Amino acid sequence: MRQRKWFVLGLAVLVLTVVALAGCGKKEENGSGGASPSPSSSGSSSASAGGASALEAIKSRGKLVVGVKFDTRLFGLKDPASGKVDGFDIDVAKGLAKELLGDESKLELKEVTSKTRIPMLDNGDIDLIIATMTISEERKKQVDFSDVYFKAGQSLLVKKGSPIQSIADIKKGTKVIGVKGSTSVKNIAEKAPDATVLEFDNYQDAFTALKAGQGQVLTTDNAILYGMASQDSNYEVVGGTFTDEPYGIAAKKGNADLVAFVNDYLKKLQDSGEYDKLYEKWIGETPMKE
C-alpha cells in the first residue's frame, strides 16, 4: 500500500516537472512580438553583448533583439487579434535589422515598460531599447544613447469638455495620472507641485485609469497622447507642449560600435527622406523643420 502511494507521488512530481519544462521551452515565443517568427528553439536568447564587439555578436547570432513598448499606440502596440506589434518604433527597429542583417524579419521584439527597459538592457535580454525613451542626463549615466530620432514634448490628455485646458489649470486637488519611472511624472511634480500624481506601471493601465475616472488628466509625451486620443475620440490633447522630450535609442553602456551604427542608420534615414515618410505614416503630418 505504501509502495503505491510513493509511486503516485513520484508520478505527480514527474508530470509537474514535464509541464514545467515544456513551459520553459515555450516562453520565448510568448515574449516575442508577432513581427518576428521566432524560431521554435527556445535557447537562451541572451542578447548580452559584452565588450566592444556588440555588433559582431548580433551578426553572428543572426538576430537583433529590441525592447519596445507593446502598449503605446503609434509607437509600439500589440494587437491582441493578430499578435502583431506595430508602430513608429517598430518600423525603426525593422529598418535597423534590415541594415544590419539584410532582412527585416531577423528581428525579435520584446516587451519593455518604462520600469523594465533599463534592467532588461543591463541583463542582456535585449540589444537596444527603442521605446519612446527620452534622453536625459541621469539616464546617460546608465545607458549609451544614439542621436535624437524623435522630438516629442510633454502634454496633457483630458476628456473632451474638461475644464482643464492647460498646465495652468492644474490646481491643488487635481489628480494627474502618469507612468512609473517616466520623466513626465517628475516634470509634472515640478511644474504643478500642488497636483496629486497617480502612477501606474504602463501607459495602458494609466489610460484605463483615466477612463475609469481615477484622475482628470493624463500626462506624458504628446506623441503617445495623440495615439490614445486616436484610439478613443472622447479624449483630446490640450495645452501644447511644456517640455522637450527628445527620444533616443539606447544601447548598453560601452557598446560604442552599436551606437555608431545606429547613428549612421538614423542619418541615412533622414537623408533619404524615408524618415519623413515614416513620420507621416504614424503621426499623420510631416515633421517640423528647424
Residues within the interface to other proteins (CB under 8 A): 2, 5-6, 9, 13, 16-17, 19-20, 22-24, 26-27, 30-31, 70-71, 78, 80-81, 111-113, 115-116, 119-120, 122-125, 138, 141-142, 177, 180-181, 185-186, 198-202, 204-205, 207-209, 211-214
Give 227 or 248: the residue with its C-beta nearer to other proteins: 227
| Least Å from the CB of residue 85 to other proteins | 12
Q: How far out from the chain centre does Cα 226 lie?
A: 16
Instruction: Pull the grid cell for residue 155.
Output: 502634454
Give 124 or 153: the residue with its C-beta nearer to other proteins: 124
Give 147 or 205: the residue with its C-beta nearer to other proteins: 205
Give 143 or 238: the residue with its C-beta nearer to other proteins: 143
Show the 3-state SS of the chain.
CHHHHHHHHHHHHHHHHHHHHHHHHHHHHHHECCCCCCCCCCCCCCCCCCCCCHHHHHHHHCCEEEEECCEECCCEEECCCCCCEECHHHHHHHHHHHHHHCCCCCEEEEECCCCCHHHHHHHCCCCEECCCCECCHHHHCCEEEEEEEEEECEEEEEECCCCCCCHHHCCCCCEEEEECCCHHHHHHHHHCCCCEEEEECCHHHHHHHHHCCCCCEEEEEHHHHHHHHHHCCCEEEECCCCCCEEEEEEEECCCHHHHHHHHHHHHHHHHCCHHHHHHHHHHCCCCCCC
Give 125 or 127: the residue with its C-beta nearer to other proteins: 125
| Least Å from the CB of residue 109 to other proteins | 13
Give 32 or 146: the residue with its C-beta nearer to other proteins: 32
Give 121 or 259: the residue with its C-beta nearer to other proteins: 121
| Least Å from the CB of residue 14 to other proteins | 10
| Least Å from the CB of residue 141 to other proteins | 8
| Least Å from the CB of residue 207 to other proteins | 6
Give 190 or 290: the residue with its C-beta nearer to other proteins: 190
| Least Å from the CB of residue 221 to other proteins | 17
Burial 85-110 (b: 16+ CB within 10 A, else e): bbbbbbbbbbbbbbbbbeebebbbbb
| Least Å from the CB of residue 94 to other proteins | 22
| Least Å from the CB of residue 132 to other proteins | 15
Phi, psi of 104 (to 5 degrees): -70, -10
